[in-house]
């Protein structure tokens, strides 16, 4: 499989990293901060709806291709505008440290 041409990576994504901060009450508060901003191609793969805790939840899998980013792991998240993606895998395409082939899931709540 050849990597896509650079012109196909036409979406600007933010790679987010998780940070935990202690509150005044001594509790852990989770926040996400920008780790990097990258150009990407985003392709939907499949979608499904599931019933969870009495609410319908839509799940959409995506394949995302970016230039290789040192330190990228499934512990990061991706943000495209107001959309969030959880990374399931980030493989080094062709083992050449040129591209990351990312499998990610976008969770979209449908209903209450």
Looking at domain 8-110, which CATH architecture does it have?
A: Beta Barrel (2.40)
Question: What is the pLDDT at residue 24?
Answer: 86
**Per-residue pLDDT tens digits for 40-92:** 999 999 776 666 667 766 778 999 999 999 999 999 999 999 899 999 999 99
What whole-number distance in Å separates Cα of residue 19 and Cα of residue 16?
Answer: 10
Spans of all domains in the chain: 8-110
Three-state SS string over the chain comes to CCCCCHHHCCEEEEEEEEEEEECCCCCEEEEEEEEEEEEEEEEEEEEEEEEECCEEEEEEEEEEEEECCCCCCCCCEEEECCEEEEEEEEEEECCCCCEEEEEEEEEEEECC
pLDDT tens for each residue of 16-49: 999 988 888 888 888 899 999 999 999 999 776 6
77 in Cβ contact with 84 (< 8 Å): yes
- Residue 8: pLDDT over 50: yes
Please list, in sequence order, all residues whose beta carbon lies within 8 angstroms of the beta carbon of residue 33, skipping any fewer than 6 positions away: 16, 17, 19
Backbone phi and psi for residue 93, each to the nearest 5 degrees, phi listed first = -65, 125
100, β-bridge pairs: 66, 92
């Amino acid at each position: 499989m050849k990597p896509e041409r650079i012109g196909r990576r036409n979406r600007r994504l933010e790679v987010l990293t998780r940070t935990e901060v202690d509150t005044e009450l001594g509790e852990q508060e989770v926040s996400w901060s920008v780790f990097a901003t990258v150009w990407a191609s985003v392709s939907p793969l499949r979608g499904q709806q599931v019933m969870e805790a009495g609410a319908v939840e839509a799940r959409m899998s995506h394949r995302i291709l970016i230039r290789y980013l040192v330190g990228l792991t499934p512990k990061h998240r991706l943000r495209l505008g107001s959309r969030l993606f959880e990374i399931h895998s980030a493989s080094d395409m062709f083992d050449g440290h040129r591209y990351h082939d990312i499998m990610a899931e976008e969770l979209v709540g449908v209903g209450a």
